[in-house]
Homo-oligomer: A and B are copies of this chain.
Amino acid sequence: MGRKRADLLQGTLDLLVLRVLSREDLHGWGLSKRIRQLSGDVLEVNQGSLYPALYRLRDRGLIEGSWGISPEGRRARFYRLTRAGQKEVDAEQENWRLFTAAVERVLVAD
């Protein structure tokens, strides 16, 4: 019900995850912290949204996961972009830009 700040708009989470993973392989927990940090503490990624999103992306063949050891020395599953994911992130970002530009046009119309 209440609209908090930090609530994500449907569809943006996939793009954010893909874009961050396009720069570095990360595990879920780290991804969450990275997105929050990069966004300047504006975007909060819920675990309950993140993991389902990762499985979605994996099922679509855009990312792959493998177990490893986190910088903190814990067992963690690291994700990396597949070839398809590298293409998808560019497409989705282009899309996002087109979309926000269109919204902006409506917002500022004369």
Contact = CB atoms under 8 A, between A and B. Distances in A.
Interface of A: 3, 5, 7, 9-12, 15-16, 19-20, 23, 35, 38-40, 42-43, 93, 95-96, 98-103, 105-107, 109-110
A100 to B, nearest CB: 5
A49 B92 CA distance: 23
Contacts of A106: 16, 19-20, 35, 38-39, 43
A105 B5 CA distance: 16
How many monomers of this protein are in the complex?
2
Contacts of A95: 3, 5
B98 A100 contact: no
A77 B97 CA distance: 34
